[in-house]
Amino acid sequence: MERIRRAVDGDIPAVLGLLEQVNKIHHDGRPDIFNLATKYSAEELSAIFADESSPVFVFDDGGTVLGYVFCVVKETKGDRLLADMKSLYIDDLCVDSSARGRHIGQKLYECACSFAKDIGCYNVTLNVWALNGSARAFYEKIGMKVQKIGMETIL
């Protein structure tokens, strides 16, 4: 039975495997920036999973984790320039390469949006690396729009 639920420590091995898939895409595209490593260790994942301000949801297909969405609740208050606002930032979203095309990513994104709405967020934001054209195409297909663009000059 498929379901989306909060991540628990028992999901750490599967999430680490998915993090490796994401890192490989980034490393292959920009080895000058990305080392071959996972973004988080098992210990860091355990702490993130327990933190209410950084919920992680997993797509569970009968006991097999096929995807995740890492979220971070961000709030701006009393800033001189920026309006007071609560946002949900998607830090990472991944679907196992063997399960792509099953709309798992869209379901995880919709879960994050529903969570954000339930806690009173104004918007949902994320960053996508230019090297990851398939991810950008996915986010545009589900209705996301460019908010800002980061640029660089390599010296």
> What digits encode the pLDDT tens for the residues 102-154?
999 999 999 999 999 999 999 999 999 999 999 999 999 999 999 999 999 99
Whether 148 maps to a domain, the answer reads: no
CATH number at residue 115: 3.40.630.30
Nearest to 5 by CA among 48, 53, 69: 69
Whether 155 maps to a domain, the answer reads: no
**Residue 131: partners with Cβ closer than 8 Å, 6 or more residues away:** 25, 26, 29, 30
Whether 71 maps to a domain, the answer reads: yes
Task: Kindly report the pTM of this predicted structure.
Answer: 0.94
pLDDT band at 1 (very low <50, low <70, confident <90, very high): confident
CA distance 78 to 137: 35
Residue range 37-89, pLDDT digits in tens: 999 999 999 999 999 999 999 999 999 999 999 999 999 999 999 999 999 99
**Residue 31: partners with Cβ closer than 8 Å, 6 or more residues away:** none
pLDDT at 130: 92
CA-atom Rg of the chain in angstroms: 16
Whether 124 maps to a domain, the answer reads: yes
Whether 54 maps to a domain, the answer reads: yes
Whether 151 maps to a domain, the answer reads: no
Whether 31 maps to a domain, the answer reads: yes
Domain limits at 52?
2-141
Check whether 2 has a pLDDT greater than 90. Answer: no
* Domains identified in the chain, total number: 1
